[in-house]
Amino acid sequence: MERRVGNTRIVLVRGDITRQGVDAVVNAANPSLMGGGGVDGAIHRAGGPAILDECKKIVKEIGRLAPGNAVATTGGRLPARHVIHTVGPVWRGGGRGEPEVLRSAYVESLKRAEELGCRSVAFPSISTGAYGYPLEEAAQVALEAVIGHLEEGSPLEEVRFVLFSDTVLAAYETVLKKLKP
């Protein structure tokens, strides 16, 4: 499924983010940037030690990455040239700024991609795994954040949501169909 926003295509696909031939993939990282489970662990394993080496340098400079922020490293052995690491919010019921932090994670990741001169970027579903963000609510925030950013004008040609299961893909498709073109 896809939709155009200005000159950018938003594409929803089921797949493995570590195999995407895009300029940058977004990593749903933890604040330590040292890898972990889920998407984070998969990206670090597939991309190899160069990603971790750059993450260590970043942490040495800035400390832990705050939720809602984003930094970039090499893609290592991934097909993507860059990995944009962002930390989403841990779900605590929705009343502690979770939607704003999640929105920021997507927008800051798009900004890093644009700063790097990327034409294409692939996102996972941030915060919906171990961080427990309800899937439909996360999809709504994610798609609204990306569409809102693209409506302001962007050099990006494609924003791809690479969703790991049929259930996650269906949730994103449902939300995208409901959003006004």
Domain ranges of the chain: 2-178
Q: Where are the beta strands (DSSP E) in 54-170?
A: 70-74, 82-86, 120-123, 158-163
Is residue 136 within a helix (H) or strand (E), and if so which, with residue range? helix 135-151
Which has the closest alpha carbon to 52: 61, 64, 43? 43
CA distance 84 to 32: 14
Q: How confident is the prediction along the chain (181 residues), in pLDDT tens digits per residue?
A: 999 999 999 999 999 999 999 999 999 999 999 998 899 999 999 999 999 999 999 999 999 999 999 999 999 999 999 999 999 999 999 999 999 999 999 999 999 999 999 999 999 999 999 999 999 999 999 999 999 999 999 999 999 999 999 999 999 999 999 997 7
Q: What residues pair up with 123 in beta bridges, in sequence order? A: 161
Catalytic residue among 16, 40, 53, 166: 40
pLDDT of residue 180: 75
pLDDT of residue 58: 97
Instruction: Please give the CATH architecture assigned to the domain spanning 2-178.
Output: 3-Layer(aba) Sandwich (3.40)
CA distance 13 to 165: 10
53 a catalytic residue: no
pLDDT of residue 36: 86
